[in-house]
Amino acid sequence: MSYEIVGITALWIFLFGYLIVASIDFGAGFFSFYSIALGHENRVHSIIQRYLSPVWEVTNVFLVFFYIGLIGFFPDSAYYYGTALLVPGSLVITLLAIRGAYYAFNTYGSSKENNKIYVGLYGATGVLIPAALSTILAISEGGIIQEVNGKVVIGWREFFTNPYTWSVIVLALVSVLYISAMFLTFYAQRSGDQEAFEVVRGYALVWSGPTILASVLAFFQINKQNPEHFQNMLNLSWMFIASLLCFLIAIYHVWKRRKLGLSFIMVILQFAFAWFGYGRSHLPYVLYKYVNIYNNFTNKTMAIALITAFALGLVVLIPSLILIMRLFLFNANYVRGNSPKKG
């Protein structure tokens, strides 16, 4: 396997990790606000807060690795994406700062009261951040970034009037809520909180339909935006069929209220098949027609250093996540609202 393939695979793995972990986090934040706004706070808010408390501090590690790796493996991507991501990137940084401030004050502050304005801002970041981040997928298909007389020009009119752009944004929004609701359904059942379980199970079932419809819409919009990529996706159609089958299995178990751990594993596989199918069919381009993984790759020395760093990062990050899960998320006392040290 070439350095180029190893490099792009490492990036895609870290971005997939961020997709799953951050989706649970962002969606849980939105549902936390939603529960307070509808007066369901006593039913589901505590479950959500018990999940968020130990997890929020490690979520963005995946994203940091991805951006460092993107620039490191493909230096030309900074030239093209630098201008394009100035607005959405600045927005994401601002929203992450707001989200981090809420976490800090809510977790470590002396007052535990939930101010609706603060919680509203926090909940809004849960949908605005994935919407802003998803724009990179729309831009990567080409037709929006142009190089004119040696300068990168962003076609903002083409960006905002492009149906594919909005299909990707919608897909990002509903996917975040779906992934989060599916996890919280499993988490609520494990906690033994039947009332919270029924509420978040309803969220999962409600958002499952829009997720699959948005996926189909985005899939066919690619044909209009980038026919070459669409044809490559058809050549890998088995991956997207496998994704659909995983979706059906996951929803079936939620509907039957059984095997919810297996159900969430199916959700992970559902997005894994779709995510890696999309990424594989997008090759050899990082940015269509401008950044090619073979023509715009870094030098061999830098590649080896980055691959080593990414491997060591996984060695540290994965055990850390497993430890968090064992100490908090899947600790029998903690999920029931007790200290994980008890018992």
pLDDT in tens, 101-114: 776 666 555 455 55
CA–CA separation, 2 and 301 (whole Å)? 14
Beta strands 151-154 and 291-292, pairing class: unpaired
Q: Name the residue ranges covered by the structural domains of the chain.
A: 3-336
Output phi, psi for 146, to 5 deg. Answer: -125, 145
Ranges 17-31, 35-49, 163-177, 219-233: which has the least confidence: 35-49
Indicate the DSSP class of residue 142: S
Q: At residue 343, does pLDDT exceed 50?
A: no
Give Cα separations from 129 to 95, 272, 315, 336 (angstroms).
7, 21, 28, 30
Q: What is the pTM of this model?
A: 0.88
- pLDDT score at 342: 45
Q: At residue 336, does pLDDT exceed 70?
A: no
- pLDDT score at 270: 96
CA–CA separation, 252 and 108 (whole Å)? 40
- Going by C-beta distance under 8 Å and a sequence separation of 6 or more, which residues neighbour residue 253? 259, 260, 262, 263, 266
CA–CA separation, 323 and 329 (whole Å)? 9
Mean of the per-residue pLDDT values of the chain: 82
Structure confidence by residue, pLDDT tens digits, 203-214: 999 999 999 999
As a dihedral over the C-alpha atoms of residue 312, residue 318, residue 323, residue 328, rounded to 10 degrees, the angle is 140
Sign of CA dihedral 273, 295, 304, 65: negative
- Going by C-beta distance under 8 Å and a sequence separation of 6 or more, which residues neighbour residue 241? none
Spatial contact of 293 and 285, defined as CB atoms under 8 Å apart: yes
Task: List the Cα angle 209/215/220 in 5-degree steps.
Answer: 130
